[in-house]
Amino acid sequence: MLSESRGRSLAGVPWLVSDIVLGLGTIALYIVGGIRGNAPLIIAAAVLSLLVVVIGVSFFMLQPNQAAVLMLFGDYRGSDRTPGLRIANPLYIKKKVSLRVRNFTTQTSKVNDANGNPIEIAAVVVWRVTDTARATFGVDNFVHYVHTQSESAIRQLARSYPYDSFDHTDVTTLIGDTSEVNADLLIELQERATEAGVEILEARITDLAYAPEIAEAMLRRQQAAAIVAARAKIVEGAVLMVREAIEALEEGTDEHDSIQLDADRKATFASNLMTVIASDHPTTPVVNVGTLNR
């Protein structure tokens, strides 16, 4: 595979000064040769004029974070990354390639996740060209290539993971494990972008949601799962409180303060206390004062 190599070029400022001096000398020769009618001087001036033009068309300018791919009759002759005024073979075709960091946001795509649920997903991709030869000759259009491969990688990522997991806590999900998912996306994109001489600096999911047709149903499912989890936690705490309350009643500070409960009374006490603790609404106690005989 073709890789970037250093092209042959020189600093352009000294050559620019020389070209200006040579141009002034050519003008002087034309004037002197015309006044004296000296044919050799005029021919020399014409030759120098051609040389001035050849040197002039050999110049090219590079900005910081910009490179020039040098080609001679379709053959790659290297790349120049030195900023400033440069000069190279006048027959070279000089194609400039930006080395600056670029970024774009992919279009929001509708795709099924690993569980078959339709979701909408998009990501931001930050990249730059690192190999100008591959970027120029490896693919037809490296910018379009990166955009297309990013869209494809996002879809592939969405199919590899579920949006969320309600049954298993050890499953990697798109919504719950963003760092791991973004790392996998970066690796996937880099594998695809290497052919174009591109380095992926960052890939991060920006938009992630259920598709509108199932969003409401999934929201209710998430709410139900949250309620079940919360109730389970409340019941767990209530059981612990009831156990500690019964133990405290039976132990007391001494034998006179202890209250011994039989199995039926323990069951009744536990039931009433569980109702008070785990109830969603404030409970209204009913005090049994017994029966009054007249």
271 vs 198: which has the higher pLDDT: 198
230 and 243 share one domain: yes
106 and 93 share one domain: no
Question: Is 17 a residue whose pLDDT tops 80?
Answer: yes
Q: Residue 293 domain-assigned?
A: no
User: What are the residues whose beta carbons fall under 8 Å from the beta carbon of 143, sequence distance 6 or more?
Assistant: none
Sign of the Cα pseudo-torsion (47, 53, 58, 63, in order) = positive
26, 96, 84, 83: which is closest to 54 by C-alpha?
26
pLDDT at 294: 45
Cα 122 to Cα 111: distance, rounded to the nearest angstrom = 11
67 and 79 share one domain: yes
Query: Phi/psi at 117 (nearest 5 deg)?
Result: -85, 130
Region of 290 on the Ramachandran plot (φ > 0 left; ψ -120 to 50 alpha; else beta): left
CB-based contact 61:73 (threshold 8 Å): no
pLDDT at 172: 85
146 vs 230: which has the higher pLDDT: 146
Q: Residue 35 domain-assigned?
A: yes
Amino acid at position 88, single letter: A
Question: Is 63 a residue whose pLDDT tops 80?
Answer: yes
Tokens of 9: 């070029």
pTM for the whole structure: 0.70
33 and 107 share one domain: no
Query: Phi/psi at 123 (nearest 5 deg)?
Result: -145, 160
